[in-house]
Structures are given as structure tokens and as C-alpha cells.
Amino acid sequence: MKRLFWFLIAGGGGFLLDAGLTHVLIGIWGFGPFLPRIPAIMTAMAFTWLVNRRLTFGSSGHSLAVEGFRYWAVGTTSAIVNYAVYSALMYRAPLLQPVIAVIFASLTAMAYSFFGYSRFVFRQ
């Protein structure tokens, strides 16, 4: 239960970074709804790795390079899932507010990433 708590804290912080950066890049800087998701997801992924490594799962026992590679492999595929769900929602419902699409995409990616991180990256 403790792992799930810290995973949700990490994910919540990552979500705030992701949604906030997406909002700023779209709403303030005038970018379209698709390109800003890339740096937003990457920023959130870096943040969640730090939190998950320190508080959620602990270090994996692998070298930092191996752990980092595994984390980014799961994170990248999770980001693809996130971006695919977001894009599908924005394409199918163009009047949908981007932040709503971010919520649904992030929840889907969260479920995928928890299992990937706990079983592939930080499994000891």
C-alpha cells in the first residue's frame, strides 16, 4: 500500500508538471495541442523517476545505467500510450479541452507504468 501511495504522489506531481506545461505551451505561448505534449511528458517522466527511485520502489539493485534504461523503456512506451490516448481524444472530440484529454491519457498510462515499473524496473 505504501508503494501505491508514493506512486500516486509521484504520478500526481508528474501530472501537474505535464498538464501545467501543456497548458502554458498551448494557452500562453500559442502552440497547437499536439507538439507541447512531447516536452511535457519528458519533464514529467524525469520527475517521476526521481520520486519513484527514492520513495516508491527504492533503487533496483541494478546499475544506475541499467535502471535508467529500463525506466525510460517503460516510460517511453507509457508515454506512447499516453500520447496515443490524448491524440485519439483530441482528434475524435476537437472541442474537448486539452487538459481533460491529458487526464484520461494520464490515467491510462499510469496503470500501464505502475505494472511496468514494479515488475520490470524495480523488481529485486
Q: Give the pLDDT confidence of 57-88 residue by residue, as tens digits.
A: 988 888 888 988 999 899 999 989 999 999 99
> How many domains, in total, are found in the chain?
1
Residue 67: which domain range? 2-121
Whether residue 35 has pLDDT greater than 80:
yes
Half-sphere exposure of 32 (CA within 13 A, CB side): 6
**Would you say the pTM of this structure is higher than 0.85?**
no
